[in-house]
Homo-oligomer: A and B are copies of this chain.
Amino acid sequence: MTKPVNGSGPVIIDCHGHYTTTPSALREFRTAQLAALRDGTAPPAPATIRDDEIVESIERNQLRIMRERGSDLMILSPRASGMAHHVDDPAVARAWARASNDLVHRVAGLFPGRFAPACQLPQTPSGGVEDAVAELRRCVAELGFVGCLLNPDPSGGYWAAKPLTDPFWFPLYHELVTLDAPAMIHVSASVNPSIHDLGAHYLNADTSVFMQLVRGELFERYPTLRFVIPHGGGAVPYHWGRYQGLAARLERPPIDGLLRNVFFDTAVYHQPGIDLLHRVVPVENILFASELLGAVRGDNPATGAGWDHTRVYVDRAGLDDAALRKVYEHNARRVFPRLEAHLP
Residues of A at under 8 Å CB distance from B? 152-153, 157-163, 192-196, 198-200, 203-204, 207-208, 210-212, 214-215, 231-232, 234-235, 237-246, 248-249, 268-270, 272-273, 275-276, 279-280, 295-298, 300, 307-308
Contact = CB atoms under 8 A, between A and B. Distances in A.
A245 B308 contact: yes
B161 A158 contact: no
B268 A272 contact: no
Nearest to A240: B270
A297 B163 CA distance: 24
A268 to B, nearest CB: 6
Nearest to A275: B276
A244 B272 CA distance: 14
A335 to B, nearest CB: 22
B215 A241 contact: no
A246 to B, nearest CB: 5
B159 A194 contact: yes
Given A158-B158, A239-B273, A242-B295, 6 more contacts: A204-B207, A238-B238, A242-B270, A242-B307, A245-B295, A248-B296
* Centre residue among A240, A279, A296, A298 by max chain B CB count within 10 A: A296
A53 to B, nearest CB: 25
B194 A296 contact: no
Contact of A212 (B152, B194, B211): B194
A307 B235 contact: no
